[in-house]
C-alpha cells in the first residue's frame, strides 16, 4: 500500500546539509515539440463526525490538454463512514500501529491514496508519449507507502512512452543550509536545478526511497520555484526533454503547469460542496447535522483562548 | 427573521408563511419581505470556477451520489427575509408575538392569510383582485367606512384604477361618493370598454364647473362664501367683515344676486382699498362662471339628492385653472360639511385625486379630524407622496401602495403608522404594475400584496401617445 504523498506530508525531514551550492547543475530549458500533457490529483475531506467515527469524502480528477483545449474526467465525491478503532476496519485495509482517532486519520489517507494511485495508473495506461503530472513527490518506502505500487505505475508509464513528473507545491527539503527552492533564485528561467545528489545523500539513513530524480524547477521568470521529481528510470535527456515539451505544450502560470492546477481545482472541495455532501448524507442516511460541541467553549465561554473564538 | 428556501420551493415577496412549533402548538405568522441568495461561504468561489471553466474546459463527471445536483441546489438557495405579523394559538390568530418558535421542532408551511385578514363572507364585499393562490380576494366595505385612505404609487402603476374600483364598489353598496377629478379620468365610468352602457349609468353624475356645476348665492350661504373669499381668494379679514355686512343687507332686501352684489360692492361707503379688494374678488367670482342668479340653472339640489340616494358625483376639474379648482373644492366641501351638520346627508366618501392641486393647507388637518367626524371619509390619490402631510400618513386607516422606486418617495410612504418602514421599502419597490400593497383595516393590519382586478368601464386614465405601434412597424 502506498502512502499518501501530497506536498511531502509524512515525508521525513532530512538533516540540513551545508556545502557549496555551486555543485548543483543548472539546466536551461527551451521549448521543444508540443505533446500531450495530463495531470491527476485527488482530494479528501472530513465532512463530519459521528459518535462512532468520521465521515469522509474523496474526489479525484484527471485533466489533459487536447487540441480542443482542456478536458477533464472527475470521479466522486465518494463518501465513507470510518469508525474509530479497528473494529470497523475493512479487512482489505492492512492495519498499521495506532488506534482510535489516529487509525481513522490513516484510513482516510489510505482511501485517498487508493483512489489516487488508481487514477494515476489509469492515465499512465490511457496516454502515450505524454508528460504525466502528479501532485506531490515520488517518494516511496514508508510502511504506508511501499515501493512496488508506484514502481508498477512508473513502469506502465515508461512502456507507453510517458514521462511521469511530480510537482510539490511546498517542500521541506533543504540543501546547503536553505530550502532547495531558493537555489534557483538567481537562475534564468526556464531552467531546472539538479539537486538530486545532495538530496538523496540526506536520505541514506531513512527507509524511504526517491523514485524520482529531484530537481528544482523554475519554469517562468518571476514565478515560483517548485520541487520537481521526474521518474528516475527515464534517461536524463528524456527527463529534460519532457520538461521542454511541457513548457511548449502547457500554459505555465506562476511557474506551475495549468493542467495540474486545473486537476487540483477540479478535485478540491469548495465549502459549498462540503455542505452539499452533508446535505446528501443527511437526506440519504437520515443523519442530523448539528454543530460540533466545543468543550472549551462550553467551559470558558467568552473567557477562553483565541482558538475557541 | 430569516429562512432558508430551496429552489424547488415557490416563495415570493409578500407571501405569508406559518412557523408551527410542534411542541408548544403555537405558530408564528410571518411575511416574506425580501428574497436574497443565501450567502453560503465559498459560493462565489464556486460560481467563479464555473464561469471560468464552462467554455474552455469540457469533461465528464462520475458522480455516483449525484452531489453536483446538491451543489446546484445550494447555489440557488435563497434567504427569505421575513417579518412577524401575528401568531396562532390553538388555530386562532392572535397578536401575541413575544416568543420564538423552536428552530429544531418547527415546520414551515404556506399560510392562507385571507383567512385571518378578511371576513370569510363579508356583508358588503368588495372584490379587490387576486392574491397568491386565491384569485378572489375580497375585503369588506365596512373597513373603508369612516376611514381615511391613501392610494399612492408612481405614475402608470394603477392608482386611479384602484380608486375607481373602490368608488364603484362603494356605489354598489349604496354609498355616496364625491370624486374630485383633476384629469377627467372618471367622466366615462357610465360606459363599458366597448362603449355600451355600464350598470353605473344613472348612478354617476359628472359635474363640470361653468357648465353643469353652478350655484346661486342663496344656496351657497354667507359662511361658504366667506370660506371661498378667505381661503381660496385670500381676502383680508377687514374686507371680509365689510363683505359680510353687504351680504346681510342684500339678504334683508331679498335681493341676493351676483348683479346686486356687484352693485352693492361698487357703491359701498367703505375705504377705497377695501372696496378695491372686494371688487377684484367679485370679478374673479364672476369670471369663474359657477355662480348663477337663475335658480333653475343651479345644481346644488341635484348634488344633495344624488349623494343622499347613494349616487356618485364626479367633479370634472380637467382644464380648470388653479383658482377655479380651489373655489370649487372650497365651495363643495363647505357645502357638504354644512349638509352633513344639518343631517341632510349621512356620510360621503370623498375621492381626492392630486389633492395638493386644490386643497388648502388647513384642510389637511380638518379632513382627518373635524370632517371625518361629520362624515366625510376621504381617499387621497397621488403619485407625489410628499404632497401629503406626514400627519395624514400617520393617521391613515388604510393605505394602498403601488410601486415606487425613488428612495425619497419610499422614505415618505414608509412613515405610515400601520406597518414598519422596512417592509414598505422592500415590498413596494418591486411591485409589478397593477399590484398594490394593502395596509391597514381592510386587511386587519396584515399587509397583503394584491393584484388589482380589471374593470369593465371606460377609465380614460391611460396616457395618450403620439406614435402608434403599427406606424412604427411600417417605418421599419
Ordered by where they begin, the domains of chain A are 21-269 (3.30.2170)
Closest CA to B27 of B87, B105, B113: B87
Across the interface, whether the CB atoms of B60 and A73 are under 8 A apart is answered: yes
- Say yes or no for a CB contact (<8 Å) between A280 and B65: yes
CA of A290: which chain B residue's CA is closest? B104
CB contact under 8 Å between A72 and B45, yes or no, is no
Neighbours of A231 (CB within 10 A): 25
SS3 state at A66: strand
Cβ pair A71:B58 closer than 8 A:
yes
Amino acid B268: pLDDT: 85
Helix H segments across chain A?
100-126, 147-159, 196-202, 236-249, 258-267, 271-285, 295-300
Q: Do B62 and A71 touch (CB under 8 A)?
A: no
CA–CA separation, B314 and B137 (whole Å): 27
Alpha-helix runs per DSSP H in B185-257: 217-227, 237-252
Of A108, A6, A115, A111, the residue nearest A49 (C-alpha): A108
Task: Residue B38: list chain A partners with CB under 8 A.
Answer: none
d(CA A173, CA A199): 7
Give the pLDDT score at A101: 58
pLDDT at A91: 36
Minimum distance, in Å, between the CA of residue A128 and any CA atom of chain B? 20
Q: B233 with B340: CB under 8 angstroms?
A: no
B58 to A69: CB separation less than 8 angstroms, yes or no = yes
Tens of pLDDT along B242-265? 999 999 999 898 888 888 999 999
Non-local (6+) Cβ contacts of B141 within 8 A are B122, B124, B125, B126, B169, B170, B173, B175
Give yes or no for A71 touching B (CB within 8 A): yes
**pLDDT classification of B393: cutoffs 50, 70, 90:** confident
Answer yes or no: do A77 and B70 touch at CB < 8 A: no
Nearest to A272 among B53, B59, B71 (CB): B71
CA distance A15 to chain B (A): 40
**Chain A environment of B58 (Cβ under 8 Å):** 68-72
Q: Which residue has the higher pLDDT, A76 or B139?
A: B139
**What band does B400 get if pLDDT is binned at 50, 70 and 90?**
very high
User: Which residue, B348, B296, B415, is CA-closest to B176?
Assistant: B348
Q: Which of A45, A270, A283 is the best substitution to test chain B (most B C-beta atoms within 10 A)? A: A270
Task: For strands B106-110 and B125-131, give the pairing.
Answer: unpaired
Residue pair A39/A263 in contact (Cβ under 8 Å)? The answer is yes
3-state secondary structure of B63: coil
**Nearest residue to B141 via CA among B112, B164, B159, B119:** B119
Q: Which residues are within 8 A (CB) of A263 and not within 5 positions of it... i.e. 6 or more apart?
A: A39, A40, A41, A61, A62, A63, A72, A133, A135
Nearest to A71 among B59, B68, B74 (CB): B59
| B65/A78 Cβ within 8 A | yes
The CATH topology of domain B125-213+299-452 is Rossmann fold (3.40.50)
Find the Cα–Cα–Cα–Cα dihedral A161, A164, A165, A171, rounded to 10°: -160
The whole-angstrom distance between A122's CA and the closest CA on chain B is 15
Sort out which chain B residues have CB atoms less than 8 A from A276's CB and list them.
67-68, 70-71, 73-74
> What pLDDT is attached to residue B17?
93
Cβ-based neighbour number of residue B272 at 10 Å? 7
Q: Pull the grid cell for residue A73.
A: 474526467
What is the residue extent of each domain of chain B? 2-117, 125-213+299-452, 217-288
Residue A288, classed as helix, strand or coil, is coil
| Minimum CA–CA partner of B42 in chain A | A271
- Count CB atoms within 10 A of the CB of residue B147: 18
User: In this complex, which of B43, B62, B67 lies closest to A277 when CB atoms are compared?
Assistant: B67
Could you identify the residue written with the cell 404609487?
A: B153
Higher pLDDT, A267 or B322: A267
| The predicted structure's pLDDT at residue B269 | 84
Is residue A269 within 8 Å of residue A57, measured between CB atoms? yes
Contact residues, A window 230-249, toward B, CB-based 8 Å cutoff: none
Distance CA B403, CA B420 (A): 17
Q: Given an 8 Å threshold on Cβ–Cβ distance, is A271 in contact with B42?
A: yes
Count helices and strands in chain B by DSSP H and E runs: 16, 18
Contact A26, A193 (CB under 8 A): yes
**Mean local confidence (pLDDT), B64-88:** 87
* Nearest by Cα to A151 from A106, A98, A211, A93: A211
Torsion over CA of A246, A247, A248 and A249, rounded to 10 degrees?
Answer: 50
Cis amide prior to B237 (ω within 30 degrees): no
How far away is chain B from the Cα of A187, in angstroms, using its nearest Cα?
Answer: 33
Among candidate residues A75, A15, A36, A90, the one with its CA nearest the CA of residue A246? A36
Band of residue B300 on the pLDDT scale cut at 50, 70, 90: low
Give the pLDDT confidence score for residue A41 in this predicted structure: 93
CB contacts < 8 A (A, B)? 80
Question: Which residues of chain A have a CB within 8 Å of the CB of B74?
Answer: 272, 275-276, 279
Query: CB A70 to CB B56 under 8 A?
Result: yes
- pLDDT recorded at residue A294: 65
CB–CB contact A70 B70 (8 Å): no
What mean pLDDT do residues B123-135 have?
89
C-beta atoms of B57 and A262 within 8 A: yes
Whether A79 has its CB under 8 Å from any CB of chain B: the answer is yes
- Dist CA A191 CA A179 (whole Å): 17
Give the span between the Cα atoms of A17 and A201, in whole angstroms.
9
Q: Assess A275–B contact: CB distance below 8 Å, yes or no.
A: yes
A280·B70 Cβ contact <8 A:
yes
The answer to whether A265 faces chain B, any CB pair under 8 Å, is yes
Determine the Cα–Cα distance for residues A11 and A168; give it in Å rounded to an integer: 12
Contacts of A243 (CB under 8 A, 6+ apart): A29, A165, A190, A192, A217, A219, A228, A230
A75 to chain B: which residues are within 8 Å by CB? Answer: 62
Give the residue carrying C-alpha cell 414608509. B414
Longest dimension (CA), chain A: 65
- Grid coordinates standing for A288? 442530523
Residue with cell 468543550: A295
Q: Is the pLDDT of residue B292 over 90?
A: no
Beta strands in B191-338 (DSSP E): 204-207, 312-316
> Chain B contacts of A266, Cβ < 8 Å?
59
Specify whether the CB–CB gap between B204 and B312 falls below 8 A: yes
Looking at the DSSP assignment, which residues form a beta bridge with residue B84?
Answer: B30
- Helices vs. strands in chain A: H and E counts, helices first: 7, 15
DSSP-derived letter for residue B215 is B
B190: left (phi over 0), alpha (psi -120 to 50) or beta: alpha
A171, B126, B412 from B440: Cα distances, Å: 69, 15, 17
CB atoms within 10 A of CB A149: 18
CA B58 – CA A62 distance, rounded (Å) = 12
Q: Kindly list the residues of chain B whose beta carbon comes within 8 Å of any beta carbon in chain A.
A: 40-43, 45-46, 49, 53, 56-68, 70-71, 73-75
**For A83-92, B126-135, B161-170, which range has the lowest pLDDT when averaged over its residues?**
A83-92
What residues of chain A lie within 8 A of the CB of B49, using their CB? Answer: 265, 270
- Nearest Cα neighbor of B232 from B389, B360, B370 is B360
Query: Pick from A74, A77, A11: which is nearest to A45 by CA?
Result: A77
Q: Are A53 and A81 in contact (CB under 8 A)?
A: yes
Contact between B109 and B18 (Cβ < 8 Å): yes
Cβ of A201 under 8 Å from any chain B Cβ? no
Q: Could you report the average pLDDT of every consecutive run of 10 residues in chain A (309 residues)?
A: 38 49 76 88 87 87 87 89 62 42 71 87 92 88 75 92 90 73 75 83 73 88 87 90 90 90 89 84 79 66 57
Segment among A187-201, B133-147, B198-212, B451-465 with least mean pLDDT: B451-465
| Cβ neighbours around B452 below 10 Å, total | 23
Judging contacts by C-beta atoms under 8 Å, the chain B residues touching residue A277 are 65, 67, 70
The residue of chain B with its CA nearest to that of A76 is: B63
User: Residue B208: what pLDDT?
Assistant: 86
> How many C-beta atoms surround the C-beta of residue B370 within 10 A?
12
**B451 falls in which pLDDT band (50, 70, 90)?**
very high
Amino acid at each position: 500500500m502506498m502512502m499518501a504523498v501530497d506536498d511531502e506530508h509524512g515525508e521525513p525531514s532530512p538533516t540540513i546539509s551545508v556545502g557549496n551550492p555551486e555543485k548543483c547543475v543548472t539546466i536551461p530549458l527551451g521549448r521543444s515539440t508540443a505533446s500531450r500533457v495530463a495531470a491527476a490529483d485527488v482530494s479528501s475531506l472530513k465532512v463530519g463526525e459521528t459518535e462512532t467515527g468520521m465521515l469522509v469524502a474523496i474526489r479525484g480528477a484527471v485533466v489533459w490538454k487536447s487540441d480542443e483545449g482542456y478536458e477533464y474526467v472527475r470521479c466522486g465525491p465518494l463518501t465513507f463512514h470510518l469508525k474509530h478503532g479497528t473494529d470497523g476496519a475493512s479487512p482489505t485495509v492492512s492495519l498499521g500501529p495506532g488506534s482510535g482517532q489516529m487509525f481513522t486519520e490513516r484510513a482516510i489517507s489510505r482511501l485517498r491514496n487508493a483512489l489516487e494511485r488508481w487514477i494515476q495508473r489509469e492515465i499512465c495506461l490511457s496516454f502515450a508519449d505524454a508528460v504525466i503530472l502528479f501532485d506531490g513527490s515520488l517518494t516511496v518506502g514508508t510502511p504506508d507507502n511501499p515501493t512496488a505500487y508506484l514502481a508498477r505505475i512508473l513502469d506502465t508509464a515508461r512502456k507507453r512512452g510517458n514521462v511521469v513528473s511530480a510537482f510539490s507545491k511546498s517542500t521541506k527539503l533543504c540543501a546547503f543550509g536553505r530550502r532547495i527552492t531558493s537555489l534557483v533564485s538567481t537562475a534564468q528561467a526556464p531552467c531546472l536545478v539538479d539537486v538530486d545528489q545532495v538530496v538523496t545523500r540526506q536520505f541514506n539513513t531513512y527507509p524511504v526511497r526517491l523514485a524520482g530524480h529531484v530537481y528544482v524547477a523554475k519554469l517562468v521568470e518571476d514565478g515560483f520555484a517548485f520541487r520537481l521529481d521526474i521518474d528516475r528510470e527515464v534517461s536524463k535527456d528524456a527527463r529534460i526533454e519532457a520538461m521542454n515539451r511541457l513548457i511548449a505544450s502547457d500554459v505555465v502560470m506562476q511557474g506551475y503547469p495549468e493542467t495540474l492546477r486545473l486537476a487540483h481545482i477540479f478535485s478540491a472541495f469548495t465549502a459549498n460542496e462540503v455542505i452539499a455532501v452533508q446535505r446528501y448524507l443527511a437526506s440519504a442516511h437520515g443523519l442530523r447535522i448539528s454543530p460540533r460541541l466545543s468543550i472549551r467553549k462550553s467551559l470558558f465561554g467568552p473567557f477562553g483562548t483565541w482558538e475557541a473564538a | 427573521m430569516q429562512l432558508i428556501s430551496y429552489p424547488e420551493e415557490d416563495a415570493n415577496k409578500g407571501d405569508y408563511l406559518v412557523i408551527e412549533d410542534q411542541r408548544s402548538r403555537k405558530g408564528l405568522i410571518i411575511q416574506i419581505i425580501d428574497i436574497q441568495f443565501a450567502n453560503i461561504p465559498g459560493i462565489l468561489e464556486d460560481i467563479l470556477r464555473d464561469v471560468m471553466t464552462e467554455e474552455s474546459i469540457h469533461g465528464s463527471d462520475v458522480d455516483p451520489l449525484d452531489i453536483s445536483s446538491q451543489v446546484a441546489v445550494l447555489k440557488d438557495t435563497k434567504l427569505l427575509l421575513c417579518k412577524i405579523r401575528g401568531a396562532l394559538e390553538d388555530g386562532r390568530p392572535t397578536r401575541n408575538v413575544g416568543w420564538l418558535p423552536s428552530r429544531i421542532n418547527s415546520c414551515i408551511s404556506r399560510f392562507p392569510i385571507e383567512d385571518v385578514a378578511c371576513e370569510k363572507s363579508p356583508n358588503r364585499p368588495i372584490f379587490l383582485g387576486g392574491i397568491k393562490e386565491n384569485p378572489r380576494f375580497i375585503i369588506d366595505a365596512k373597513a373603508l367606512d369612516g376611514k381615511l385612505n391613501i392610494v399612492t404609487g408612481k405614475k402608470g402603476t394603477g392608482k386611479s384604477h384602484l380608486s375607481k374600483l373602490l368608488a364603484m364598489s362603494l356605489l354598489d353598496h349604496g354609498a355616496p361618493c364625491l370624486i374630485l377629478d383633476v384629469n377627467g379620468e372618471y367622466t366615462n365610468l357610465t360606459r363599458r370598454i366597448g362603449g355600451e352602457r355600464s350598470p353605473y349609468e344613472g348612478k354617476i353624475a359628472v359635474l363640470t364647473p361653468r357648465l353643469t356645476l353652478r350655484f346661486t348665492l342663496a344656496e351657497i350661504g354667507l359662511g361658504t362664501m366667506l370660506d371661498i373669499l378667505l381661503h381660496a381668494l385670500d381676502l383680508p379679514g377687514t374686507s371680509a367683515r365689510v363683505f359680510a355686512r353687504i351680504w346681510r343687507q342684500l339678504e334683508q332686501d331679498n335681493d341676493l344676486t351676483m348683479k346686486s352684489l356687484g352693485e352693492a360692492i361698487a357703491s359701498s361707503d367703505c375705504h377705497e382699498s377695501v372696496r378695491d379688494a372686494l371688487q377684484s374678488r367679485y370679478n374673479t367670482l364672476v369670471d369663474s362662471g359657477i355662480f348663477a342668479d337663475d335658480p333653475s340653472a343651479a345644481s346644488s339640489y341635484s348634488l344633495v339628492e344624488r349623494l343622499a340616494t347613494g349616487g356618485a358625483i364626479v367633479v370634472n376639474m380637467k382644464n380648470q385653472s388653479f383658482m377655479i379648482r380651489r373655489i370649487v373644492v372650497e365651495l363643495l366641501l363647505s357645502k357638504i360639511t354644512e349638509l352633513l351638520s344639518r343631517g341632510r346627508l349621512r356620510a360621503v366618501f370623498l375621492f381626492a385625486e392630486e389633492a395638493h392641486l386644490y386643497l388648502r393647507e388647513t384642510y389637511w388637518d380638518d379632513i382627518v379630524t373635524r370632517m371625518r367626524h361629520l362624515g366625510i371619509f376621504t381617499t387621497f390619490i397621488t403619485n407625489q407622496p410628499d404632497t401629503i402631510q406626514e400627519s395624514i400618513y400617520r393617521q391613515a386607516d388604510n393605505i394602498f401602495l403601488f410601486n415606487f422606486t425613488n428612495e425619497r418617495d419610499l422614505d415618505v410612504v414608509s412613515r405610515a403608522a400601520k406597518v414598519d418602514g422596512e417592509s414598505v421599502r422592500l415590498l413596494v419597490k418591486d411591485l409589478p404594475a397593477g399590484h398594490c400593497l394593502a395596509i391597514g383595516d381592510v386587511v386587519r393590519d396584515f399587509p397583503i400584496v394584491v393584484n388589482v382586478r380589471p374593470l369593465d368601464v371606460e377609465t380614460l386614465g391611460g396616457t395618450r401617445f403620439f406614435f402608434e405601434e403599427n406606424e412604427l412597424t411600417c417605418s421599419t
